[in-house]
Structure formats: structure tokens, C-alpha cells
Amino acid sequence: MSEIAIRVEKLGKRYSIGKRERYHALRDTLSDALSAPFRWLRHGGSANGNGAPEHIWALRDISFEVPRGEVVGIVGRNGAGKSTLLKVLSRITEPTEGRAEIHGRVGSLLEVGTGFHPELTGRENVYLNGAILGMHKAEIARKFDEIVAFAEIEKFIDTPVKHYSSGMYMRLAFAVAAHLDTDILIVDEVLAVGDAEFQKKCLGKMSDISRGGRTVLFVSHNLSAVRSLCGTGILLENGELHGRGPIHNVIGEYSHGLARRNGSGMHSQTLGPTLRLGRLKIDPSPVTTGEPLSLTIQLVPRSVTSVKEIALLLYSEYGARVAVLDLRQHGLRNLILDDEPFEFQVHIRRLPLVEGKYRLGFYIATSEHADDYLDVAVLTVRAAESHNGIVPYPADCRGYLDLGFSVEAEVAMQVRR
């Protein structure tokens, strides 16, 4: 068997803006080819009637190799092309150009319940997924009890999965992907759903898989998990490959890129189908531990948009959630935004963070869409002056919060006998 598990050469994926990809029969292909010159002349040689581009490249000119048994973390901002790359490697979508060679059976966990049939029971879906992966019924049966025990759904294994909660879906989907005998495991944001105990269980299982010599591709915004599980990394930016090497180098390059974007105070980013972030200004930048901080945020609607919820998300440099500022508490809820930009300020009276770099993002819920938008900007915090001449512990030993406190003590007299 080849020593290379995955080989990608000049891979590209192009999507049509505002259109769904459809199945093309031979008849459609011949018809399109014959009519293309006439469409081109009718539109004056442009892509469409108004000259606007019709396509967007989600991936462009991606090339890399993954040796067998390597655990690779794929990092990048929202929209960088991470999920598209995994869908191409999982054979869910076809590339527009280039090629991807996969050597071995692939198990994928890309979205909650991917590959499950809602009308089938959990038991039937386990066997269905195994069959799709090319496994024999006897192979699946040997692993069945272990899969059900890991997913913790023994009582519901014979219930149709359409009645499962999202957490039950995720537990069973991960258990199937992780326990069946695949050569390559592809996982996209498995830690986005589920409680802390389940996430810990998933990380432990993935660590076991990596030590067992299987190839793993892992996408997560939790950079602490990526750093602990992966030996090498791939950095994607705007659909292009921007880094490849040891995981600590890739994460460092990713963090530096976010910091560079933070310099101008402009952070234009899409926040769903009808909304984008016009700018996010941090004042002061950097900020000192214990000092005030102000954020100026501008939202720009593409059309009339009903914004139901806004929350500001604060993460550590490696992806651990530090705080959530629920802006509904201060009146920012059920907003109707029209054609004009909407700007507001968030004031923090005393920032209690230990020095270091933190990642800022948003949770936005509109009437059409709700999602987290991470890595919008980087907040740099510098240390305050030490008190009483005491040299503080290193920042990485002190957690995230610098809490103000005082100490009162009484010295008891001990009488010697």
C-alpha cells in the first residue's frame, strides 16, 4: 500500500453565485456546448447581462501530500475553504480543476448526522454507514456494541434517528466514524456540538486513533485541541494554501495573520446572507490589564434585515472560550436594519484579562440565519505594573483572568508549653 494517504495536486473548486449545482446528463452538456457561443455574443462577451462575475473560487491551486499515519490540523478563518476541501476529499463534491488521490477507506464526519437516513433507526444507520464505507456486515457487527456504548444511546438505538436530538446525532455519528475500520478519518468541527464531557471523550478517542497509525484530517476553531492532537498543519486563507508544516508554526502564522488584520481597525467580513461587518475598532489597542476598553462595531445590511440576537465572543489565542457578552442585555435585540449602516459601541469598564492575545468573534442570529463568526479580530492585552515589587507568575500559568482581591489575616499567638 502507498506510503502517501492523500495527494492533492492543483485542486480548485468553483461555485456559481446564487445558483445550485445540478446534475448534467450528456444531453445537457451537448446543449450547453452548442449554445455557449450564442450566449456569449448576446451578452456582449461578458459573463452575464450586467458584466458581473458569475462564479467564486472556494479553493484555488491547492497542492499537498499527507503521509500515511499523519494527523493533520487544517486551520483558517470562516470562509477560508476548510469545509470545501474536506468535502472534496470525502468525495461529496467534485473538484472544478486539479485532482485528489485518496489511498484507503475514508470515514467522514463533516456535519451532524451526515449520511444518516432519518427514517431508519440508529441500529440500521450504523450498518448503512458501514456498508457505504465498503465494510462487511460481520466487520460492523464486531464493532457494534462498542459504537453504541461510546454514543451512550442504548435505550434509543432502535428509534428512528429523526427523533434524535442534535447531541444524540453527533454522538452516534462520531462513534460510527471513529470505530469502524477506516484508513483515513476526516473530521470537521466535531467539538461544535455536545457537552464538555462528550468533547473530552471525542478528543480522547481521536488521540487513540492517531496513536493507532490511522491518517486523520481535523478541522476545528479550538486551536488548543488542534495543537494537542496534530503533528502537522495546513493553513488556508481565501481558498488558497498559505502554510504547511509543524502545527505550532502553522498556528503561529495564523495568529500573526489575525494580528496584522487588526492593525487598521477595518475588519470587513460576511456575517450571514444579508449582513456584513463594516468595521470593528478597538480602543485602545493594545489595552492594559485592568484598564477600560471600547469597541466600535459597524454592521452593514445588504437588504432589510431583522437581527434578533448579537453576542460578542472572546476566545483565547488557542480557542478556549473566555467570555460571551450577550448584547441583548443592553437592548440590542429584534433590530430592523435597512439600507443604512448600523454602528454601536461596547464599553468594558475594567478589562480583567491576563496579558496575551485573544480572538474576537460574533454570534449573529437574524430571521434568515444564525451562526458563530470567529476570528474577526485580535485583542492584544499587555501587563499592568506589578504591585509591591512582586514579580508575577508567567502569563501561561495564571489562566485568563486577573481578579482584583484583598487579603485580611490574623496572626494567632502560639503559647509554648
pLDDT at 52 over 60: no
Q: What is the mean pLDDT of the chain?
A: 83
Rounded to an integer, the average pLDDT of 80-90 is 91
Q: What is the assigned CATH class of domain 265-397?
A: mainly beta
Rounded to an integer, the average pLDDT of 162-174 is 84
Q: What is the pTM of this model?
A: 0.68
pLDDT at 203 over 60: yes
Taking the mean position of all CA atoms in its chain, how far away is CA 199?
15
CA angle 75, 240, 72 (to 5 degrees): 35
Rounded to an integer, the average pLDDT of 84-91 is 91
In angstroms, the first-to-last Cα distance of the chain is 81
What is residue 176's predicted lDDT score, i.e. its pLDDT?
A: 84
What is residue 257's predicted lDDT score, i.e. its pLDDT?
A: 75
Alpha carbon distance 116, 162 (integer Å): 9
What is residue 265's predicted lDDT score, i.e. its pLDDT?
A: 46
> 213-247 pLDDT, tens per residue?
889 999 988 888 888 889 999 999 989 999 999 99
Listed in sequence order, the residues at least 6 apart from 4 whose beta carbon sits closer than 8 Å to its beta carbon are 65, 66, 67, 68, 101, 103
* Architecture of domain 4-15+59-256 in this structure: 3-Layer(aba) Sandwich (3.40)
pLDDT at 31 over 70: no
What is residue 370's predicted lDDT score, i.e. its pLDDT?
A: 85
What is residue 37's predicted lDDT score, i.e. its pLDDT?
A: 57
Q: What percentage of the chain carries pLDDT values higher than 90? A: 39
The single-letter DSSP state of residue 50 is T
Listed in sequence order, the residues at least 6 apart from 22 whose beta carbon sits closer than 8 Å to its beta carbon are none
Spell out the domain ranges in the chain.
4-15+59-256, 20-53, 265-397
4-15+59-256 with 265-397: one CATH topology?
no
User: Taking Cα atoms as reference points, which of 12, 217, 2 lies closest to residue 107?
Assistant: 217
Please tell me whether residue 332 adopts helix, strand or coil conformation: coil
pLDDT at 332 over 80: yes
pLDDT at 119 over 90: yes
Rounded to an integer, the average pLDDT of 374-392 is 83
Question: In this structure, what are the phi and psi dihedrals at residue 199, rounded to the nearest 5 degrees?
Answer: -60, -40
Alpha carbon distance 367, 101 (integer Å): 41
pLDDT at 136 over 80: yes
User: Which residue in this structure is represented by grid cell 467570555?
Assistant: 323
> 290-318 pLDDT, tens per residue?
999 999 999 999 889 999 999 999 998 87
pLDDT at 284 over 90: yes
What is residue 223's predicted lDDT score, i.e. its pLDDT?
A: 83
